[in-house]
Amino acid sequence: MKKCRIIILKKVTHFDLIEKFENPILNACNLNIGDTFISVDAKIPQNFCESAWQNLYPYVLALASGGTDIFNGWMKNKNQVVISCNDGFRPVSFLIESIE
């Protein structure tokens, strides 16, 4: 099984939605742009957001298992995908790529 590198590309905070809909929480996403994680054997990297991992895991597993071109030509590099977590208040965009 290949390793996968996960890089934080973009992070947005929708303060208007948070103010209108979200109850205060103590530990919001602590990932930052440029943070890089390595997944070994398709396991969650240390200190990675567990909620985001639920969205990324199928893609990490596919790439780590040797899958390529997951989106049938959508990505320029067949060994990469860009996926966002499902946090509607603080969405984060991740680049996932298989590495040797």
Over the stretch 39-59, which tens digit does the pLDDT of each residue have?
A: 999 999 999 999 999 999 999
Whether pLDDT at 100 is above 90: no
What's the number of domains the chain is made of? 1
1 class by beta-carbon count within 10 Å (0-12 exposed, 13-18 middle, 19+ buried): middle
Judged against a pLDDT cut of 80, whether residue 70 lies above it is answered with: yes
- CA atoms of 77 and 49, how far apart (whole Å): 25
Read off φ and ψ for residue 65, nearest 5 degrees: -85, 5
Domain region containing 60? 3-99
| Other CB atoms within 10 A of residue 43 CB | 14
